[in-house]
Amino acid sequence: EVQLVESGGGLVQPGGSLRLSCSASGFTFSSYAMHWVRQAPGKGLEYVSAIGNSGRSTYYADSVKGRFTISRDNSNNTLYLQLSSLRAEDTAVYYCVKVSRQHLPYDAFDIWGQGTMVTVSS
């Protein structure tokens, strides 16, 4: 079964840091670009970041550029998102998502993790 399982969320103070992990299984992780999408409580979906299948190329939404870092470990089938300089407006459920087709950096998101909640508050 193709599966994504996020972890690492929690309560953090403004200005703090957190690292989210996403463990992938059931597919050839190294062949697929991976992305992060977030959803603030009661709000819609917001695109956050992307990383190519090899890890060489990355992309960040303006709202997180310079503060978040996406990375991946293809040997351990794990995606990461390092969150730094956190703000109240970063409070959201963070979803790890897989693209549908191999080797395409941008595509439909066919598999979503269950999400991990990040709360930024003092």
Partner 1 sequence: DIQMTQSPSSLSASVGDRVTITCQASQDISNYLNWYQQKPGKAPKLLIYDASNLEKGAPSRFSGSGSGTDFTFTISSLQPEDIATYYCQQYDFLPLTFGGGTKVEIK
Stretch that binds partner 1, among 25-33, 67-75, 80-88, 101-109 (CB under 8 A): 101-109
Among 45, 54, 57, 121, the residue binding partner 1 under the rule CB under 8 A is: 45
CA distance 50 to 107: 11
Binding of partner 1 by 61 (CB under 8 A): yes
Binding of partner 1 by 114 (CB under 8 A): yes
Stretch that binds partner 1, among 13-21, 23-31, 56-64, 74-82 (CB under 8 A): 56-64
Binding of partner 1 by 100 (CB under 8 A): yes
CB 116 within 8 A of CB 91: no
Least Å distance, CB 13 to partner 1, is 27
Least Å distance, CB 85 to partner 1, is 20
Binding of partner 1 by 115 (CB under 8 A): yes
Q: DSSP per residue over the chain, as a string?
A: --EEEEE--EEE-TT--EEEEEEEESS-GGGS-EEEEEE-TTS-EEEEEEE-TTSS-EEE-TTTTTTEEEEEETTTTEEEEEE-S--GGG-EEEEEEEESSTT-SS--EEEE---EEEEE--
Residues that bind partner 1 (CB under 8 A): 35, 44-47, 50, 59, 61-62, 95, 100, 106-110, 112-115
